[in-house]
Amino acid sequence: MLRISLLLIITCSILHAQEITQITVVEDENSQSLPSYNYQGTIYVSLKHLADIIHLSSESTEKGNTVEIIFQDITLHFKSKNPYVIIKIHDSGESSIYQYPTSSHFINDLIFVPLNETLELFNKYYDKSLIVISPGKVIILEKDQKRISRI
C-alpha cells in the first residue's frame, strides 16, 4: 500500500503541469504582463511575449517551436527544448552560438527561456537595458540612465 501511495504521488508530481504566472515589465509609465513560471528555482519567460513587450520583430514557425528575434544588427534564433541560441550578424552573415545553462521549454505552443540569461543576452544587442528589480518585476531603462526616479 505504501509503495502504491508513493508511486501515485511521484506520478502526479511528474504529470502536474507548470503553473503559468506573470512578471510585470515596466517602461516609463507603462506596465505589461509577461507569462512566466518557476521550474526548479529558475524563472522562465515566454520569448514571443518578451519580444512583443520590448517592440522587437519576431518570426516563428507555424507550430511555434522555432522563433527568431530580430535586432538592428543581429538575429537570435531559438529552438524549443534546446539550450543553444544561434546569433547571426546581418552585415557579415557570420554566426556564433550562445548556450543557456539549461534547455528552453515548449508549453502551449510557446518557447520559454530562462529570464536572467535571456536578459543578459538581450542587453548585449538591445538599445535599452532590461533589469530585474524584484522577483516579479523587470524594468526597461535607457542604456545611459543612472538612476530610477520612480516605478
pLDDT tens for each residue of 68-108: 999 999 999 999 999 999 999 999 989 999 999 999 999 98
Q: In what order do the strands lie in the sheet with 95-99?
A: 57-60, 66-70, 74-79, 84-89, 95-99
Q: pTM for the complete prediction? A: 0.81
Q: Are 119 and 132 within 8 A, CB to CB? A: yes
Burial status of residue 146 (CB atoms within 10 A of its CB: 0-12, 13-18, 19 or more): exposed
Question: How do residues 110-127 score in pLDDT, each as one tens digit?
Answer: 999 999 999 999 999 999
Of the given ranges (41-55, 94-108, 137-151), which has the lowest mean pLDDT?
137-151
* Of 44 and 61, the one with more pLDDT: 44
The arithmetic mean of pLDDT across residues 143-148, rounded, is 69
Question: How do residues 16-33 score in pLDDT, each as one tens digit?
Answer: 455 779 999 999 889 999
